[in-house]
Amino acid sequence: MPRVELPREPNERGRQWMLHLPASDVAALWPQIRRAAIPEMVKLASIRYFTMEFFSTTAGVTTLIRYHPDDIHQVARNLAEDRMSVPAAWRTDTPEGTQAERLHQRRRRQGKWASCLFIPALLAVLLAVAWTVALLLK
């Protein structure tokens, strides 16, 4: 996947960043491609993109990706005219794609449950350690 470096000048960098498309716009332009398969589709089509990393207090390092609009529109035309070969598991209109989407959604739900249980489990461990230390200090 060809990664493009953003210009050094802040004004030009911001302008280039805003001209490129986020993944949500790409998903709207490619309705026949599953959202989870967009990164693979970008690699397959050799689409140019920019990345920007920023630090947040809650999530640590977050990387945002924006895609070159000309490349995205060309692939959208190729998909609409059926001139591009795409694996069936990446498509929304095939049985393989439907099955892959169900599996993806199931895994996401399982991941959410695991993250919801992590904090209560951590608190239980901390309470057990504090209680053990309190008993040992008596």
* Mean pLDDT across 48-67: 81
pLDDT value of position 77: 92
* Torsional sign, CA 75, 42, 34, 59: negative
Show me where the domains of the chain are located: 1-93, 98-138
- Write out pLDDT tens, residues 27-39: 999 988 998 899 9
Tell me the pTM. 0.64
DSSP alpha helices (H): ranges in the chain? 10-19, 23-29, 38-45, 69-80, 95-137
- Which long-range CB contacts under 8 A does 89-97 form with residues at least 24 apart? 89/37, 90/33, 90/34, 90/37, 90/40, 90/41, 91/32, 91/33, 91/34, 92/31, 92/32, 92/33, 92/34, 93/32, 97/34
To the nearest whole percent, how much of the chain has pLDDT over 70?
83
Do residues 66 and 50 make contact, with C-beta atoms less than 8 angstroms apart?
Answer: yes
pLDDT value of position 20: 85
pLDDT value of position 11: 61
- Write out pLDDT tens, residues 91-137: 888 899 889 888 888 887 776 666 677 788 888 889 999 999 988 88
